[in-house]
Amino acid sequence: MHVPVVDTLVGLHLSATEAVNETTAKTTDTALYARFFHAMKRRGVLMAPGAYEVLFASLAHTDADLRHVAEAAFEAASEAVRAPVD
At position 65, the amino acid (one-letter code) is D
pLDDT band for position 65 (50/70/90)?
Answer: very high
Q: How far is CA 25 from CA 7, 44, 47, 71, in A?
A: 19, 28, 19, 26
pLDDT given for residue 86 in this prediction: 61
Helix, strand and coil in the chain, % to nearest 5? 45, 10, 50
Q: Tell me: the pLDDT tens digits for 71-82?
A: 999 999 999 999
- Domains in the chain: boundaries: 5-82
Angle at which helix 30-42 crosses helix 63-82, to 10 degrees, equals 130
Phi, psi of 8 (to 5 degrees): -95, 5
pLDDT band for position 23 (50/70/90)?
Answer: very high
Look at the domain 5-82 and name its fold. Aspartate Aminotransferase, domain 1 (3.90.1150)
